[in-house]
Chain A
Amino acid sequence: MGTTKKKRRDLTPFFFILPFMIFFIVFIVIPLIHGLILSFQDWGLMSDPIFVGMENYKELLGVRRFKQAVQNTLRFAGLSVPLLLVIPLLLALLLNKSFFGQKLAQNAIISPFLIPSGSVLLLWVWMLDSQTGMINHILKALGLPGQAWLSRSNSAMAAIVFITLWWTSGYNIILYLSSLQDLPQELYEAAAVDGAGGWKQFWHITLPLLRNRMLFITTLQIIASFKLFDQVYILTGGGPAGSTRTLAFYLYETGFRDWMFGRAAAVSWYMFIMIAIIGVLQAKLLTRWLGEGV
């Protein structure tokens, strides 16, 4: 009795993970391996795949659009990551207090992140329209000059950063608020007894305790900024003059407009390498910088 029962029990975990593993293997493991193989192949819509070694990787380094995409992606990350780290923190600190209308303000600021990109971006295409857009109407009323925000290379990326900040801050605010609510109140009471004011309390208690949360949000934002696609696709199509072409958008163009699968796969591996490098660097830097406050 003992042996048969034991043998049967041993297979239970296998059956429990099997349904998930089938999907995981088919849609994650195999594509990952196939993607790596693809990146060493030359494969267009009409031809058969040919092994070309590192050719895709080498060639890409000489492609102007690719270099531009790398630059633009880094520019977007450089602008959006710090903003999405700091501004949601400030908003969360404001919203963490109890006051009349707190819930209302919180929901109003948080809710945009849930709205699909299609809705949000069609709205902003119109809001930023040079002739009929609300933003230029408001600027005009204030006596300021408006402009065609999305069709000028000096403002298109800034507009994308601004919209992304407005749209996605809510997510980070929720993450910050949940951390702020976990902070030990005794520390603040003790600090107040010692005569430490609000600013000192923030700098010496709140900030160090939020360190891990900030690290997490930074990592999340870096990965998210490398994936920037919807905004570019809907708002600018990569233009003007390629000034908003990001890596994710270039990958889309390469794979699904030019139908160069091998090269598109190589782009995705470059993306991974860059995310990995930046991820390690930011973890080290941020730990050192934020560590000082402890």
Chain B
Amino acid sequence: MAGVGRRRGRIVLSIICIVLGVVWFFPILWMLFASLQPNSELLVYPPRIIPRVVTLENFKTILFSTRGVNVGRAFLNSVFYASIVTLGVLVTATPAAYAFARMRFRGREVLFWLIVATLILPVQMFIVPVYLLLDKLDLLNTIWAIILPPIGPAFGVFLLRQFMLTIPDELEDAAKIDGCPPLRFLVQVVVPLMRPPLVSLAILTFLGTWNDLLWPMLVITDSKLLPLQPALTRIRGEYHGTFEAGTIMAGAFVAAIPVLVIFALASRYIVRAVSTSGISR
């Protein structure tokens, strides 16, 4: 009896969750289906969710149009910026985290916790002074304004240090006896050991840069240098929301494709990245 009740419970749970999942995901499906329809089809009532006519016209318009901002170019800009920032964070945070976790020097703990304490400060506290700094250095409206500041925050150092604390002492002792220089030890032994947290950090950094709107919007006005997020907010002014909804949805979907692809291919890594980002408990 109990078994039957349990199986029935499981079927009900299954149905509830699948329905919930479909409803939850529906807006994103609608974004895709709308972008595949001619704009005129989107004005009819009742709306056609499954496209009657499928066309790639909207994607062609949004990616290659010379009307205002070019989303195709902004897409490539974003790939470039996010990759460089990710590289910059990995290259600077890895040795620093290693030093804070494994090396002995005066003031190590105090310095580390002071650095980590800045993580709770809201990003808004840095916007005005960093903007003025870049202005003074004549770097506004250059790629440096997007690439350099995100390397400052201590998140990567904090995350990697937690994992580096777990490296067994014996490994280091062996390396010291062999006369292996610290930098080579870091690159050849520590980095391969730290692959999972490094991948997590890379994913979080890439997505963070890809998804940032406010900062690039403030420091970049040249539409050639614009990354995708501010470019998207601009197409809204350039296309008519009601009559060109399909075209705008094509732009929105283009920006969502990379993250959806990363999620489809590496959801395991993303889940781990997020759960380790909450490592402080």
What CA separation (Å) do A256 and B219 show in the bound complex?
A: 10
What CA separation (Å) do A3 and B30 show in the bound complex?
A: 70
Query: Is there an interface contact between A111 and B28, defined as CB atoms closer than 8 Å?
Result: yes
Query: Is there an interface contact between A101 and B18, defined as CB atoms closer than 8 Å?
Result: yes
How many chain-B residues does the 8 Å CB contact rule pick out?
95
Contact of B182 (CB < 8 Å), options: A12, A117, A126, A127:
A12
Q: Tell me how far the C-beta of A114 lies from the nearest C-beta in chain B, rounded to whole angstroms.
A: 4
Contact of B17 (CB < 8 Å), options: A105, A137, A229:
A105
Query: Is there an interface contact between B24 and A234, defined as CB atoms closer than 8 Å?
Result: no
A115 at interface (Cβ–Cβ under 8 A)?
Answer: yes
A118 at interface (Cβ–Cβ under 8 A)?
Answer: yes
Contact of B129 (CB < 8 Å), options: A21, A32, A125, A226:
A32
What CA separation (Å) do A137 and B45 show in the bound complex?
A: 8
Query: Is there an interface contact between A95 and B17, defined as CB atoms closer than 8 Å?
Result: yes
Q: Tell me how far the C-beta of B267 lies from the nearest C-beta in chain A, rounded to whole angstroms.
A: 6
What CA separation (Å) do A105 and B15 show in the bound complex?
A: 10
**What residues of A have a CB within 8 angstroms of the CB of B55 in the complex?**
none
Contact of A127 (CB < 8 Å), options: B13, B20, B30, B91:
B30
**What residues of B have a CB within 8 angstroms of the CB of A265 in the complex?**
128-129
**What residues of B have a CB within 8 angstroms of the CB of A23 in the complex?**
88, 92, 148, 151-152
**What residues of B have a CB within 8 angstroms of the CB of A141 in the complex?**
46
Q: Tell me how far the C-beta of A289 lies from the nearest C-beta in chain B, rounded to whole angstroms.
A: 18
Q: Which of the segments A76-84, A128-136, A188-196 contacts the partner chain?
A: A128-136
**What residues of A have a CB within 8 angstroms of the CB of B153 in the complex?**
24, 27-28
Q: Give 17 A-B contacts (CB < 8 Å), ordered by A residue.
A: A14-B105, A17-B95, A20-B95, A27-B153, A28-B153, A28-B154, A97-B13, A101-B14, A105-B17, A105-B18, A114-B263, A115-B28, A126-B248, A252-B214, A267-B124, A268-B127, A269-B125
Binding site for A on B (CB under 8 A): 10-11, 13-14, 16-18, 20-22, 24-25, 27-28, 30-31, 34, 42-43, 45-47, 88, 91-93, 95-96, 98-100, 103-105, 108, 115, 118, 120-133, 148-149, 151-154, 157, 182, 186, 207, 210-211, 213-214, 218, 228-233, 236, 241-242, 245, 248-249, 251-253, 255-256, 259-260, 262-263, 267, 270-271, 274-275, 278, 280-281
Binding site for B on A (CB under 8 A): 10, 12-17, 19-21, 23-24, 26-28, 30-32, 34-35, 38, 91, 94-95, 97, 99-102, 104-112, 114-120, 122-127, 129, 131-132, 134, 137, 141, 166, 171, 174-175, 177-178, 212-213, 216-217, 220, 223, 226-227, 229-230, 233-234, 247-248, 251-252, 255-256, 261, 264-265, 267-269, 271-272, 275, 279
Besides the contacts A116-B256, A255-B128, what 14 more A-B pairs have beta carbons closer than 8 Å? A23-B148, A27-B148, A27-B149, A32-B118, A104-B21, A105-B17, A107-B21, A114-B260, A118-B233, A122-B249, A175-B274, A177-B271, A268-B125, A275-B122
